[in-house]
Amino acid sequence: MAENIKGWQRTSRCAEIDQGALGEEMILMGWCHKQRDLGGLVFITLRDRSGEIQLLIDESCPAAAREKAALVRSEYVIAARGVLQKRSSPNPEMPTGNVELLVQELRILSQAQTPPFYIEEDVKANEALRLKHRYLDLRRPDMQRKLHLRHKITRLTRDFFAQAGFWEIETPMLTRSTPEGARDYVVPSRVFPGSFFALPQSPQLFKQLLMLAGYDRYMQIVRCFRDEDLRADRQPEFTQIDLEMAFVDSEDVLRVNEAYLQKLFAEIAGVSIELPLQRMTYAEAMRRFGSDKPDLRFALELVDVSDLFMESPFKVFSTTLAADGRIGLINVPSGADMTRKEIDSLTEYVKTYRAKGLAWLALEESPRGSLARFIDQDLLETLKERAGAKENDLLLFVADQEDVTLEALGQLRCEVARRRKLIKPGDFKLLWVTEFPLLEYDEDSQRFVARHHPFTSPLDEDMDLLEKDPARVRAKAYDIILNGTELGGGSIRIHDEKLQQKMFALLGLDQEEARARFGFLLEAFQYGVPPHGGLAYGLDRMVMLFTGSSSIRDVIAFPKVQTSACLMTQAPNQIDPEQLAELGLAWQEEEGSLPDGQ
């Protein structure tokens, strides 16, 4: 029978006791982590979200307490009244390891079955089992630390932006399709059979409308939904820290956010960030690092050497150049010691990024490598100078179409940095990448798509290219990058109805289609729109970085697995025929439609 806590009030959490209060009476409550019965002497490790403390029940304790202590098993919920005393054999591993509670009275508040896995810091159980019993997994100190840090981040975020004059305003979850370009999650309407709400991919349109409505500075910590095939760092529902400001230019948005990031890093990671943050245009990031989210914790910059191989006897290089391709390299300092096997495996690595191969040159006394016989002394000197290379360095070359060369080398530099341990642990490198292309050409649909979203403003100086050469138009868009990962991104928006119409036209949306999808926005734009812009951070990713988690599931209390299913609640689930009928829906049986674990 479960007892209750009648008449008792917990005096503190287990590890938050005043350890100096020896001889004082305390009431503690929590889970039994471990019970050891040495016959006449029972030790119980009591656990709550603050940590653990030892309970001692010995012969001096009342008989009722001794009897109950013998019954306690792992994960029982218990309450203990006792007196704090010094531990005769302290445990230096435990923050409360110098003290223990000598129990006077014990209550068993709830019994527990043996859990399917042992609740411990370095859990050995597989993830599917942990997720099925997530409430047990969440008892682990590791998970509690991560969710605590998440709480600290959201709290700091709210405080910071509130102080900076932002109002937290909620936006609807049941809405129309929003423009982030992923597949929508939809919810059928009972009142309008055949019609559906979409869950928001972001509050983009609503936050813009709030600016138009005069709310000036908005923020929200908000759930967003995108029905995409999940990769390791994605979840179908994820959280954004979403911001929008009126009467601002990019500069103003960046400035507020830099102050936020400085505070965040100082208080959450104890890292001091110098302002202003480094900025780099998209074009420069691609040219120097082969990525629009460069990791600046190490150098290994890309070097373009196309002009040096125009006449090369090495056929692969000359034919690539003849076809308008590019030859680039990275210089691996002291890399000449790399084994053939390592170079082969890097070759396989670049192939996964569509590169045809990797050529190499080890700068030993007489250069060695697949390129060696095509390089004369002059060319060698020029190469060394351009790459800033010295004896015993290794040059790794990719020759391909420009985009392939850049991407393959960009990925290669990160892989080489990982393998050669060039990244200092605890190093944080933040930067803004700016001036992204406004549009991207989608080969499949043979038309332009918005790179960010259709409400992003072109750069003023590129406005006249909109008609002439849309591919070259740059946007007032910015991403904030941390250690090669995008933490967030945003833009200054179009606030002119005519320009917005033009943008829709460029994206191949005719007037009717634009009206059908975004009519309410276009209509609103006729009633006075302040210049505005904003940004959204991916909160989950931010917490991952600060907690050093390799999986996004580790920073979300109740996450989904790769198939978008929840192993604990077994959602999604089929609904009964009456409910379907009420929604005006019919179900067509299809094989393999049940989610994992069902």
Residues within the interface to ligand ASP (CB under 6 A) = 180, 202, 204, 489-491, 534-536
Provide, rounded to whole angstroms, the least separation between the CB of residue 305 and ligand ASP. Answer: 36
Q: Which is nearer to ligand ASP, 25 or 168 (CB)?
A: 168
Cα separation, 351 vs 535, whole angstroms: 35
Provide, rounded to whole angstroms, the least separation between the CB of residue 365 and ligand ASP. Answer: 53
Q: Which is nearer to ligand ASP, 54 or 204 (CB)?
A: 204
Cα separation, 145 vs 153, whole angstroms: 12
Tokens of 53: 């403390």
Provide, rounded to whole angstroms, the least separation between the CB of residue 491 and ligand ASP. Answer: 5
Provide, rounded to whole angstroms, the least separation between the CB of residue 280 and ligand ASP. Answer: 19
**Do the strands 278-281 and 430-434 form a parallel or antiparallel pair, or are they unpaired?**
parallel
**Do the strands 532-538 and 485-492 form a parallel or antiparallel pair, or are they unpaired?**
antiparallel
Provide, rounded to whole angstroms, the least separation between the CB of residue 218 and ligand ASP. Answer: 11
Provide, rounded to whole angstroms, the least separation between the CB of residue 180 and ligand ASP. Answer: 5
Q: Which is nearer to ligand ASP, 45 or 204 (CB)?
A: 204
Cα separation, 498 vs 506, whole angstroms: 12
439, 448 Cβ separation under 8 angstroms: yes
Q: Which is nearer to ligand ASP, 169 or 585 (CB)?
A: 169
Q: Which is nearer to ligand ASP, 32 or 205 (CB)?
A: 205
Provide, rounded to whole angstroms, the least separation between the CB of residue 178 and ligand ASP. Answer: 8
Q: Which is nearer to ligand ASP, 65 or 211 (CB)?
A: 211
- 261 burial (CB, 10 Å; 0-12 / 13-18 / 19+) is buried
**Do the strands 25-37 and 42-48 form a parallel or antiparallel pair, or are they unpaired?**
antiparallel
Cα separation, 552 vs 488, whole angstroms: 16
Q: Which is nearer to ligand ASP, 182 or 583 (CB)?
A: 182
- Phi, then psi, of 384 in degrees rounded to 5: -60, -45
Cα separation, 114 vs 440, whole angstroms: 56
User: How large is the angle between the packed helices 402-419 and 340-351, nearest 10 degrees?
Assistant: 140
- 182 burial (CB, 10 Å; 0-12 / 13-18 / 19+) is middle
Q: Write out the H or E segment, with its range, that includes residue 315.
A: helix 315-322
- Phi, then psi, of 327 in degrees rounded to 5: -120, 125
Provide, rounded to whole angstroms, the least separation between the CB of residue 293 and ligand ASP. Answer: 14
Tokens of 439: 């549009």
Provide, rounded to whole angstroms, the least separation between the CB of residue 160 and ligand ASP. Answer: 17
Q: Which is nearer to ligand ASP, 487 or 565 (CB)?
A: 487
Q: Which is nearer to ligand ASP, 417 or 507 (CB)?
A: 507
Q: What is the DSSP string of 66-105?
A: HHHHHH--TT-EEEEEEEEEE-SS--TTSTTTTEEEEEEE
